[in-house]
Amino acid sequence: MGVLMHEMNNGQGTNTAETKVHTLPRRSENDEDSVQIKDEERLMEDDLVNTVDIVFEDIKYNVSLGYKKGRKEILHGINGRLPAKHLIALMGPSGAGKSTLLDILSGYRTTGVNGNVYVNGCVRQMNSFRKCSAYITQDDRLEALLTVVENMTVAADLKLPINISRSKKETIIKKILTTLGLYEHVNTLTGKLSGGQKKRLSIALELVNNPTVVFLDEPTTGLDSSSCTQVVNLLKLLSRQGRTIVCTIHQPSASIFHLFDLVYVLANGDCLFHGATSQLVSYLENVKLPCPVYHNPADYVIELACGEYGEDKIALLISSSGNGNNTQWFENADALTNVNGLKTLDSDKKAVNLKRESGLQATPLTHQIGVLIRRGFIMCKRDVTLTYLRILVNIAVGLMLSLVFVEAGIDGARVLDNYNLLFSILIHHLMTSMMLTIVTFPMQMNILLKEHFNKWYSLKAFYTAITIVDLPISITSCLLFTLITYFVTSQPLEMSRFLMFFAISLLVVLISQGTGLMIGAVCNVINGTFLGPTSTVPLMMFSGFGLTLRDMPVYLKWGTYISFLRYSLEGYVGAIYGFDRPVLLCKEKENLYCHYRYPAKFLSDIAMDGDQFWNDIAALVTILLLTRCVAYILLKWKIISVR
């Protein structure tokens, strides 16, 4: 961000001639604020190529109630039109179906949906539509460890074609941040922004590629009245620039309600009113349900939708609106562009006129991976838990284990102690790596769902990036732990044996992370923290520790072949005591007989061969690849299932 940072360092204001954009007044979050930008000015240098009018007909949505319990219909054949250059509110009480309708219109939800959605008079082609639209969730799914400008840079690098120059991207970022009143916070960590600033940043990230349709779920939730006004004014500005802006809103104040151009009121999955906000009072008077004097029309219509004045009033409103078909209460005919004769259109012959790109994402896979890796390394550098604490824990646990088992590796009288140490090291690598992933990965899921749906990057790019980013930290922490435990406990001073020992340790760490990814991809943190430790019990039972592989019941033998702890423990034992290790010295001179001074005797008693190391490596590599592939498949299934 050379140009942008240079100007910040020189102390230049945001209202410069170079940007040709007026700024939001810089006031505190508690002051009244409004967007002061001329309608003809744009956030981007290139004007919007097309406007988008959306029409939906007979939309029904049903969900499963469980096994053999049937299905429940949430939306009941509703209709409506969402014209361009309008700020449109989807209103209704809790459970009315407004968020469900928003998800369906944006394409976020596709399973269980029936009905038709038209874009500019043609049946919606989902891939084309999603390229020109953006979905902004209710919760601010932002990378808290990145600054505002770093978040915007990542968005620009992923959402804009690679042939756009760096200086052009910086100019786009500067204009957007200036317009949204975030330019003075470019170097602020996102996690330290206020609620209103986070909401504006969420919008800013999706404006990078200049979408023509923007869907927002409860954009004013959690904001004070001043911040609410700022956000809604901003949305109105964006709509005036040619965009179709649709957002759900629960119960706005009178002043915020009148900022919207159109309102769509829902109750129990049916439409009560669809038209201009200025026409709502007239509509209610027309159906003999006049709004009381000095009463907020938005509050009154929600009270009607809740059934506070009787269920018969809801039925009357549904009938009067034609369940969304009645267009009488739109202010002008311009709002009804492309809404007539839709059923007769042939979508195969007439293509939707939207901006197109070469693929689902704006940039190639290798570029996506590169950007995500850079973002990942920045976050790792600033992440106390995933990086520094992880390294410190490995050092601390390594020292504690080593001090308990000092010189156990060369003492023939302490072979069993050393065997216990090897198993303890194994469990340490398993639990720390797996549980850390289980706890932290679900936190990334929300961001992944938002960014992947908005076509920032493919799932392959994300999965490849998180795998590569974590490797240096995994290798470093594992190496430090191995160096401490191996040499303080006096394991054989042979480079080949040390490398074999480290290879097993690293494979265990990577497999444990893969297992954590599998669990974290399908479970939330609470379920994952239960399932993770529970799943390790059979792995330990089949490892050969305590109950030898020779004494394992025949009907449980199969478990030893799928437990990676079995191959790991066998690999450790082979690295330390296998390959014809010489006779050990016994330091306890008072003992005339040292049972395990001969490594071959120890190997025989625990029913392990000392020459199976490379077979164990092959098995562990196979399990590693399998866990990573399964984790990817589960992650893909999770993304599909939420829709």
3-state secondary structure 553-595: CHHHHHHHHHCHHHHHHHHHHHHHHCCCCCCCECCCCCCCCCC
Given this model, what pLDDT does residue 140 score?
83
22 versus 623: the higher-pLDDT residue is 623
Provide mean pLDDT across the span 414-441. 92
From CA 321, how far away is CA 329, in angstroms rounded?
Answer: 9
Task: For residue 589, name the pLDDT band (cuts at 50, 70, 90).
Answer: low
Condensed to tens digits (0 to 9), the pLDDT of residues 64-93 reads 887 778 888 999 999 999 999 999 999 999
Mean of per-residue pLDDT scores for the chain: 84
**Is pLDDT of 35 > 50?**
no
Which stretch, 227-231, 319-323, 558-562, 610-614, has highest mean pLDDT?
319-323
From CA 563, how far away is CA 623, in angstroms rounded?
Answer: 9
Given this model, what pLDDT does residue 385 score?
76
Side-chain half-sphere CA neighbours of 238 within 13 A:
30
Number of CB atoms found within 10 A of residue 480's CB: 15
Which of left, alpha, beta for 501 (phi over 0: left; psi -120 to 50: alpha)? alpha
- Domain 54-132+212-344 annotated CATH 3.40.50.300: yes
Domain edges within the chain? 54-132+212-344, 365-641
Given this model, what pLDDT does residue 586 score?
82
Side-chain half-sphere CA neighbours of 615 within 13 A:
10
Given this model, what pLDDT does residue 481 score?
96
Side-chain half-sphere CA neighbours of 619 within 13 A:
18
Given this model, what pLDDT does residue 95 score?
87
Instruction: Report the DSSP pairing between strands 213-216 and 244-249.
Output: parallel
**Is pLDDT of 621 > 50?**
yes
Given this model, what pLDDT does residue 489 score?
94
Percentage of the chain lying above the pLDDT 90 cut: 53
Which stretch, 51-55, 230-234, 621-625, has highest mean pLDDT?
621-625
Whole-prediction pTM value?
0.82
Provide mean pLDDT across the span 566-591. 85
Task: For residue 180, name the pLDDT band (cuts at 50, 70, 90).
Answer: confident
Dihedrals phi, psi of 119, to nearest 5 degrees: -125, 120
Number of CB atoms found within 10 A of residue 529's CB: 15
Given this model, what pLDDT does residue 607 score?
86
Amino acid identity, position 468: I
User: Percent helix, strand and coil across the chain, each rounded to 5?
Assistant: 55, 10, 35
Torsion of CA 269, 273, 278, 279, to 10 degrees: 180
Given this model, what pLDDT does residue 361 score?
83
Dihedrals phi, psi of 61, to nearest 5 degrees: -140, 130
Given this model, what pLDDT does residue 591 score?
52
Picking from 41-45, 46-50, 104-108, 254-258, which range would have the lowest pLDDT averaged per residue?
A: 41-45
Given this model, what pLDDT does residue 636 score?
92
Condensed to tens digits (0 to 9), the pLDDT of residues 340-384 reads 433 333 333 333 344 444 467 889 999 999 999 999 999 999 988
Q: The tokens 């309008």 sit on which residue?
A: 86
Integer-rounded Cα Rg, in Å, for the chain is 31
Given this model, what pLDDT does residue 40 score?
36
Amino acid identity, position 385: T
**Is pLDDT of 423 > 90?**
yes
Host H or E run for residue 75: strand 71-82
From CA 115, how far away is CA 364, in angstroms rounded?
Answer: 34
